[in-house]
Amino acid sequence: MSESARPGLSGLGLLWPYLRPHRARVALALLSLLVAAGTVLAFGACLRALIDRGFAEGRPDILNYALASLLAVAVVLAIASGARFYLVSWLGERVVGDLRKDLFAHVVRLGPAWFEIKRSGDVMSRISADAQLIEQVIGSSASVALRNTLMCVGGVAMLVITNPKLALMALAVVPLAVVPIVLFGRKVRLLSRESQARMADMVSEGGEALDAVRTVQAFAQEDRTAARFGEAAERAFAAARRRIARRATMTTLVIFIVFASVGFLLWMGGHDVLAGRITAGDLTAFVFYAVLVASSGGAISETIGDLQRASGAAERLAELRDEPPVIVESATPKALPRPTQGSVAFSEVSFRYPTRPDALALDRFDLVVAPGETVAIVGPSGAGKTTVFNLLLRFYDPEGGSIRVDGVDIRDLRFAELRRALAIVPQEPVLFSASVADNIRYGRPEASDAEVRAAAEAASALGFIEGLPQGFATDLGNRGVRLSGGQRQRIAIARALLCDPAILLLDEATSALDAESELAVQQALERLMHQRTTLVIAHRLATVQKADRIVVVDQGRVVDVGRHADLARRGGLYARLAELQFNLQAAAAS
């Protein structure tokens, strides 16, 4: 359905599944709202009695009774309004909290392929800012709209009871007030969606810059980055201004029409009082109800704008919720043999990245790795080395061929079981803003402190960890910025050790380190690789000389296999890579 064809508030249907478990609270909130609306309507009857029977007849007892009635109504109204506020505010916070949890849980399962074409800042803007609009609607705007609708309907009924002739005149004006809401409402909703999209762009722009703030400052691009963010902020402001202007026009027209009508009715009623056709109390009650209807209509016109804005936000959240996972688990999963041996077999695997559909990343790729074997994968940049890891971790599925672990096709395994059998130590390890201990036990949250300490010791990390201000409890900051490159790498190795995987994936874990750090990390890696199937992506050929086999990859295919000496002697791509690197090293040394 096209955007313009959808009903104005259709997006809010997203909320019903989250409200359903709290039906009792919804019912109590509605009851409180009905009571509050009813007590406001009762004020008109009190006013009529006060004027016609108290003032006009000069009876103090009626005045006393009217005052007591007003106080009783005020007490009921206060209690009902307080209960309504608590219940709807609770519902707003609860529903949005559940919605955010579900959305985030869905997003983290979508896989890297989805994030190649989406900006994480836009996703978080939807989960935070868009969801906040929905909280505002449930916790405020919806109940305000419903309360004013009830008072408007009740006020109209009381107008008819009080004076049918004037009531018919008042009802004749209603279409004039509805027309601006219909004409402007749909445009307000569309502009609300655009405003939220521009806000998401601004959040993405700022988040990306702050994540790379060191690079920004290193290249002296602070002014340019601030200018780009400023442009995004201005686009967000311009979209918001268009929405506000359209909504302000709608509100202005509605309020003018409604209150002008009240003035006209007051003029007509005044003539009836002077002619003796109605009493002053009737006119006072009628004016009270007319003002109540008018103010309720004005409030409804404003809250409809909030509801339409939230509907646009809900549609954006629904789009996020309905994004299908690119990689899905098997409906009838199989289990890996116990204990897992760690054999790996790629058979005729072909694959293209979704963002590069014209280029084969792997082209009929074949590789068999025996349990406990160490295999190094070498080749020029773009040859397909990292793709091998991405497919083995099942971040993507191949378009042809199969990948097996211990004879089981990985597409038949649950994600958790496959990835428990694997552990990766990347070239640039990702650490979280948490303690050292929490970062090490990230893959095994249930691990004891003793196991964490043992993993750190085996990773040659215990020495520097104990030298930190709070030891294992030290918070590492965003992305582990408080540690050096070698220290971060050893934390990543300790994390992999603690997982005790059958298959280890090493993405040249020492290529960016100084000599001293490289020695410590290399010793830790040797302990980690002991009696495990290990695949090593090697950018430096000196790293691969201890491998059982070296697999040379070029343009997504295996072009040669052997040990270092044999491959160097045979010539070909490996020999050229080795000669180039060793000559570069010799040139650097001289």
> What is the tens place of the pLDDT at every residue in 84-107?
888 888 888 888 888 888 888 888
Cβ–Cβ contacts within 10 Å for residue 334, how many?
13
> What is the per-residue pLDDT for 388?
92
Q: How much is the average pLDDT of 530-556? A: 81
**Residue 392: per-residue pLDDT:** 93
Classify domain 431-500 by CATH number: 3.40.50.300
Cβ atoms of residues 344 and 405 within 8 Å: yes
Question: What's the mean pLDDT in 379-386?
Answer: 85
Closest C-alpha to 376, from 536, 240, 173? 536
Helix (H/G/I), strand (E/B), else coil: 30:
helix
User: What pLDDT digit, counting tens, does each position of 171-197 carry?
Assistant: 776 667 667 766 776 677 678 778 878
For 207-230, give the DSSP string. Answer: HHHHHTHHHHHHTT-HHHHHHHHH
Whether 1 has a pLDDT exceeding 70, the answer reads no
Q: Are 15 and 314 in contact (CB under 8 A)?
A: yes
With b meaning 16 or more CB within 10 Å and e meaning fewer, what string describes 376-415?
Answer: bbbbeeebbbbbbbbbbbbebebeebebbbbebebbbbeb
- Return phi, psi of residue 504, to 5°: -115, 135
Residue 589 above 60 pLDDT? no
Residues facing 549 on adjacent strands: 375
Judge whether 11-321 and 431-500 match in fold: no
- Residue 344: pLDDT over 90: yes
Handedness of CA 365, 366, 372, 377 (dihedral sign): negative
Q: Is the pLDDT of residue 255 over 60?
A: yes
How far apart CA 454 and CA 76 sit, in angstroms, is 66
What contacts 68, CB < 8 A, 6 or more positions away? none
Q: What is the pLDDT of residue 582?
A: 56
pLDDT at 498: 87
**Model confidence at 265: pLDDT above 60:** yes
Higher pLDDT, 114 or 535: 535
Query: Looking at residue 349, what is its pLDDT?
Result: 93
Q: How large is the average pLDDT for residues 544-557?
A: 86
CATH of domain 338-421+502-590: 3.40.50.300
Task: Cite the beta strand spans of 277-334 per DSSP E.
Answer: none
Q: Please report, rounded to a whole number, the percentage of residues in the chain having pLDDT higher than 90.
A: 8
What average pLDDT score do residues 289-304 get? 74
How is residue 410 written in tokens? 């990985």
Q: Which pTM does this prediction carry?
A: 0.69
Pairwise CA distance, residues 81 & 62, whole Å: 28
**Per-residue pLDDT, 404:** 94
Residue 409 pLDDT: 92
- pLDDT > 70? residue 74: yes
What pLDDT score was predicted for residue 144? 79
Would you state the pLDDT for residue 120? 67
CB 521 within 8 A of CB 460: yes
pLDDT at 369 over 80: yes
| Whole-Å CA distances, 529 to 353, 442, 500, 501 | 30, 20, 10, 10
Which residue, 270, 288, 40, 301, is CA-closest to 174? 301
Percent of the chain past pLDDT 70, that is, above it, reads 86
pLDDT for position 5: 36
- Mean pLDDT of the 461-483 span: 83
> Residues 216, 225: contact at Cβ < 8 Å?
yes
SS3 403: strand
Measuring CA to CA, which residue among 370, 385, 366 is closest to residue 536? Answer: 385
Residue 200 has which token pair? 């998401």
Strand locations in 269-407 (E): 344-351, 362-369, 374-378, 400-405
| Residue 513 pLDDT | 57
Q: Say if strands 374-378 and 422-425 run parallel, antiparallel, or are unpaired.
A: unpaired
C-beta of residue 291 within 8 angstroms of C-beta of residue 203: no
* Residue 233 or residue 524, greater confidence: 233
pLDDT at 11: 61
Average pLDDT over the chain reads 80
Which positions ≥6 away from 405 have C-beta within 8 Å?
Answer: 336, 340, 342, 343, 344, 392, 413, 418, 421, 503
Residue 492: pLDDT band by 50, 70, 90 thresholds?
A: confident
What pLDDT score was predicted for residue 512?
A: 53
Rounded CA gap, 68 and 54, in Å? 13
Average pLDDT for 289-311: 74
What 3-state class would DSSP assign to 537?
A: strand
Closest by Cα among 518, 525, 464, 516 to 493: 525
CATH class, domain 11-321, is mainly alpha
- The whole-number pLDDT of residue 37 equals 81
Q: What is the rounded average pLDDT of the residues 13-29? A: 85
Measured CA angle at 425 (ends 423, 426), to 5 deg:
130
